[in-house]
Amino acid sequence: MDRRKFLRGSALVSTALILNPFDLFAQNKIKPNLSTNSAKNIIFMISDGMSSGTLAMANLYNKQLHGKNGNWINLYEENKVKRALMDTASASSIVTDSAAASSAFGGGIRVKNGVLNIGANGEHHVPIWQKFKKAGKRTGCVTTVTITHATPAGFCVNSASRNAEPGIAEKYAEIGIDVLLGGGDEFFNSAKREDKKDLYAVYKKKGYQIAKTKEELAKSQNNKSLLGIFNTGAIPYTIDHKNLSKNKSIPTLAEMTKVAIDNLKDHQNGFVLQVEAGKVDWAAHANDVAGLINDQLAFDETIKTVMDFAEKDGNTLVIITTDHGNANPGTIYGADVNKNFESILNYKYTNEHILNEIHEDFNLQEIKDWIVETNGFSLTDDEAKHMLDFYKGLDKEEGLYNFKKLPFKFFSEIQKKHNNVGWISMDHSGDYVELAMYGPGSDLLKPFVKNTDLHKLMLQATNVNV
């Protein structure tokens, strides 16, 4: 198809739903599951930090690239799922962090930002994957960030700090989470841990298979515990994963998820699996549109992997959502918005990669040539000069994940002139978020819920009482 003609004559339609949340909270008590068609398995999918604008832009991009909707939107169009809005607040704020959000799902109670399943008075709430393990199910987590990060940890452990990742890695082994796939070599490798503990050896002693490459993952045996750690830090962003040869031995989110399902699916008592696209959140923090859209599409590809299994299986509840919004990106009205948004198809790398390749000794022409090569547009002399000033220690930009304090915000403002994508911030937002469910137990979902309601719903959908 001629992608340049795709958006001509199209209209973007938005709808607003007017609700009284207090009335809804009063009415939406989850009812007991009286159906005999209970779920044997649960696959809980989280696109971390996905604002509604992220879902919309990724779908538009997919239509430009492939001429069709993505898998998430198709589930809506084909009326295959129950759909709701979800309130994501924590105990300490109307704007949650990932630890408190995951604890709402995992522990069934709202906790303060920064902690995992520990209440205000120090009480420990049993995480839901431990409940399911006690009920005889196998358990797993898959993520594109460190496997010890807040979102997977919230389903599995109690911790006074989400940052205690070395300890979280040890707790997974003690609990016996059956499948763990993601990044975070620094929390398992004796050469990188401060205490020099060799956690790979600990896991091997407990009978785990260890995979460190895509090839080793593909050769792993089903029905046997599996630890797959494929990078120091997070898994690379999807667009960099595709376009940088150094990343070819690292599996994608969909590949990891397929292996996890195959490993777990034959257990007689069923399984529960969490799947997280963690770098959607990181890209939103950096206002990085290429990183954001491509990682959201990687999540969307993983939805197909999950749904292909769930539709054939018939006994699996699939939950698709996010833990909170982040940066609220979206397309901005303008005469050239269609053409400008379409220019993102020319972006070759994340802003993270682009900005890390710029050095203080670049001259103006070199930095301008680099942006043309990687984004397809030209900087003005003033823009190029200001960009270089960042690398000389001036005007350093703040941001949660901008560990080198590179000019992420400044560069995204330049990109906005060419792609018509704007951002409200570089941090989380308190929006109500998308929630979709498929399979047995999805009939329990009401149109408006609190994040803690999903804990109860999962237990009721599976008829697990622990």
- The tens digit of pLDDT for each residue in 380-395 reads 999 999 999 888 865 5
Residue pLDDT, tens place only, 143-195: 999 999 999 999 999 999 999 999 999 999 999 999 999 999 999 999 999 99
What is residue 399's predicted lDDT score, i.e. its pLDDT? Answer: 57
Is 285 labeled as ligand-binding?
yes
Residue 154 sits in the same domain as residue 285 = yes
C-alpha to C-alpha distances, 110 to 18, 152, 180, 429, 432, nearest whole angstrom: 25, 16, 25, 17, 16
User: Is residue 321 in a domain?
Assistant: yes
Find out whether 228 and 217 touch, Cβ atoms under 8 Å.
yes
Q: Considering the chain, what is the average pLDDT of its residues?
A: 91
Residue 283 sits in the same domain as residue 304 = yes
Q: Which residues contact 44 (CB under 8 A, 6 or more apart)?
A: 105, 155, 272, 273, 274, 275, 319, 454, 458
What is residue 31's predicted lDDT score, i.e. its pLDDT? Answer: 39
Is 276 labeled as ligand-binding?
yes
Cα angle for residues 343, 347, 350 (degrees, 5° grid): 135
Residue 309 sits in the same domain as residue 339 = no
Residue pLDDT, tens place only, 21-39: 333 333 344 333 333 479 9
Find out whether 324 and 101 touch, Cβ atoms under 8 Å.
yes
Catalytic residue numbers, as ranges: 98
User: Is residue 320 in a domain?
Assistant: yes
Is the predicted pLDDT of residue 405 greater than 90, yes or no? no
Stretch (H or E) spanning 411: helix 408-419
Residue 353 sits in the same domain as residue 431 = no
Strand 325-326 versus strand 428-429 pairing type: antiparallel
Provide φ and ψ at 67, rounded to 5°.
Answer: 75, 20
Structural domain including 359 reads 331-422
User: Is residue 15 in a domain?
Assistant: no
What is residue 6's predicted lDDT score, i.e. its pLDDT? Answer: 36
Is 324 labeled as ligand-binding?
yes
Q: Does the reported pTM lie above 0.85?
A: yes
Residue 202 sits in the same domain as residue 97 = yes
Phi/psi-derived region of residue 373, left when phi > 0, alpha when psi is between -120 and 50, beta in every other case = alpha
User: Is residue 27 in a domain?
Assistant: no
C-alpha to C-alpha distances, 401 to 24, 105, 176, 408, 465, nearest whole angstrom: 36, 24, 31, 10, 40
Nearest Cα to Cα of residue 352 among 397, 291, 425 = 291
Residue 171 sits in the same domain as residue 319 = yes
Strand 41-47 versus strand 209-211 pairing type: unpaired
As a whole number, mean pLDDT of residues 222-250 equals 95
As a whole number, mean pLDDT of residues 310-325 equals 98
Q: Which CATH number covers residue 205?
A: 3.40.720.10
User: Is residue 192 in a domain?
Assistant: yes
As a whole number, mean pLDDT of residues 428-438 equals 98
Residue 180 sits in the same domain as residue 227 = yes
Residue 108 sits in the same domain as residue 126 = yes
Is 323 labeled as ligand-binding?
yes
CA atoms within 13 A on the CB side of 159: 28
Is 428 labeled as ligand-binding?
yes
Residue 357 sits in the same domain as residue 449 = no
When divided into structural domains, the chain yields a total of 2
